[in-house]
Amino acid sequence: MRRELLALVITGVFLLSFLGSASAFSLRELGEAIQQKYQEIKQKYLNASNFYQEVRQKWLQARETYQQIKNETNREEALEWARKVAGAGINITITYLEKVIAKVNATTALTEEQRSAIISELQLRIEWLRNRTQEIPQANLSEISNITHKIRNYWQNHRVAVKRHVGKILSVKINWLIQKIENLTERAEAKIEELKANGTNTSELEALLDDLNEKLDLAKEKYEAAKEKFENITTLEEANQLFREGRDFIREAHQYLVQAFQQFKQLVKEIKEVLAG
């Protein structure tokens, strides 16, 4: 009876572990699919950007021609390119928002709640822009001018939030790196302590470790400064400047992290050499 029970328990554990493995595998596949989706949208954005630049040139030429000779043919030509450039402008803005959504989805360092809140907000902007697209084909030159004026005002009001979200993505990624490298450093520190307890001279290793910790502290300092800048993006007037400043702090934090990780790898190499004797 006890053996039957044991076999039953083992079978149960086996089945549960199989389900666990299957779900871990699905999660991995899901992660790859999300990254793939981002790459696709990135390409789509690049295409939209190139198309916008081409169409804008044609529009500027058509407008100039019409301004020089105001006849019906030139007006029709200008109208055609005005519709196209307005459509291309909306399209690139929508694709940009889709790219941010894809990046938010691929940022596992954000909580599920944070991801959902940002995505819902950005989807509302996309929806609003899509509705404007539908107004373009029937619009005349004056109406197109009104529609795009409305879009410009709308975008000016909402790009503040978009910048704040992009800042958030950058911050959480840098923070993830800080945490990871910090944890690795703690591991190395434990190993050095162990060597020291065994009577090994660890002064060179400790010097390397100190240097590494200094880089990590600087990265943290820059990360905190960047986070503060991004969180303070609340008005249109300050949005660009605060974003630029935050981005510069992120760049500095990134540089310190690159150096810290290189030093960590060097530390591992030297610990290995000490052990090899």
Site for other proteins in 18-57 (CB under 8 A): 18, 21, 24-25, 27-28, 31, 42, 49, 52, 56
Count of positions on this chain that bind other proteins (CB under 8 A): 81
CB 137 within 8 A of CB 109: no
Site for other proteins in 158-177 (CB under 8 A): 159, 162-163, 166, 169-170, 173-174, 176-177
Q: Which residues fall within 8 angstroms of residue 123, CB to CB, at 6 or more apart?
A: 101
Interactions with other proteins, residue window 99-138 (CB under 8 A): 99-100, 103
Nearer to other proteins, 113 or 251 (CB): 251
Of the listed pieces 13-21, 115-123, 204-212, 215-223, which binds other proteins according to CB under 8 A? 13-21
Phi, psi of 77 (to 5 degrees): -65, -45
H-assigned helices in 198-235: 203-231
Q: CA 14 to CA 69: how far, in whole Å? A: 81
Of residues 72 through 91, those in contact with other proteins by CB under 8 A are 78, 82, 85-86, 89
Contact letters for other proteins, residues 217-256 (x by CB under 8 A): ------------------------------x--xx--x--
Exposure on the CB side of residue 41, measured as CA atoms within 13 A: 22
To the nearest whole angstrom, how small is the minimum distance from the Cβ of residue 233 to other proteins? 13
Query: Residue 128 corresponds to which tokens in the numbers above?
Result: 């609003």
Amino acid of residue 255:
Q
Phi-psi category of 199—alpha, beta or left, where left has phi over 0 and alpha has psi -120 to 50? left
Instruction: Count CB atoms within 10 A of the CB of residue 237.
Output: 9
Nearer to other proteins, 57 or 123 (CB): 57
Which residues, numbered 179-198, are part of the site for other proteins (CB under 8 A)? 180-181, 183-184, 186-188, 190-191, 194
- Cβ proximity to other proteins: between 159 and 227 the closer is 159
Q: Computed over its alpha carbons, how large is the radius of gyration of the chain?
A: 28
